[in-house]
Amino acid sequence: MFTTADIRNIAIQIERNGEKSYRKAADAAKDAELAAVFIRMADEEKRHAEWFASIEEGRELNEEQRELEAVGKSILQEMVKDRTFSLEEGELGAIDNLADVLIKSQEFERDTILFYEMLSGFIENEQTIEQLGVIIDEEKRHQQELEELLGSTAASAE
């Protein structure tokens, strides 16, 4: 239903958006430990984008498959049009409250996880499904780390 290229291109953009946003957050962070967390997350997002970029189409389509994939592409575009899957340009840098940065980052991770989990149902290649599962687990770990950072930030503010 979805072409590998459709999935790959959207996933690459999601990961690049995440990398860019986490690097900006690291630059803006006043705490070195927090900056290191954002840099590590950015590096992982970069690695995810590189993996998605390595996925090849690898098959010829007949006319019926091309039609189905055109429908799938339209559905995919409709599904993601209202979701940014990104931290808008300059958004993290413009936020001066650490808690808000962490909350926005969590939203990004949550959207990414949901999108990748949905995509996994449309992928046939077992190796690709397995690698996508690894990436989903890393995104879940990011979300958990952000939650812990948010908790420690709230505790230190009291």
Q: Each residue of 37-65: pLDDT tens digit?
A: 899 999 999 999 998 888 766 556 677 76
| Residue 88's pLDDT band (cuts 50, 70, 90) | low
Cα-Cα-Cα-Cα torsion 137, 138, 139, 143, nearest 10 degrees, comes to: 100
pLDDT of 81 strictly over 70: no
* This prediction's pTM: 0.71
- What are the residue ranges spanned by the domains of the chain? 4-157
Count the alpha carbons within 13 Å of 140 in the hemisphere toward its beta carbon.
9
pLDDT of residue 136: 93
**Reported confidence tier of residue 105, pLDDT bands at 50, 70, 90:** confident
Q: What's the mean pLDDT in 134-145?
A: 92
Contact 80, 10 (CB under 8 A): yes
Candidates 18, 139, 145, 28; CA nearest to 93 is 28
Question: How confident is the model over 17-34, as pLDDT tens digits?
Answer: 889 888 988 888 888 888
CA distance 150 to 141: 14
Strands (E), 46-149: none
> Does residue 89 carry a pLDDT above 50?
no
Q: Which helix (H) or strand (E) holds 119?
A: helix 98-120
Measured CA angle at 105 (ends 103, 111), to 5 deg: 105
CATH superfamily, domain at 4-157: Ferritin, core subunit, four-helix bundle (1.20.1260.10)
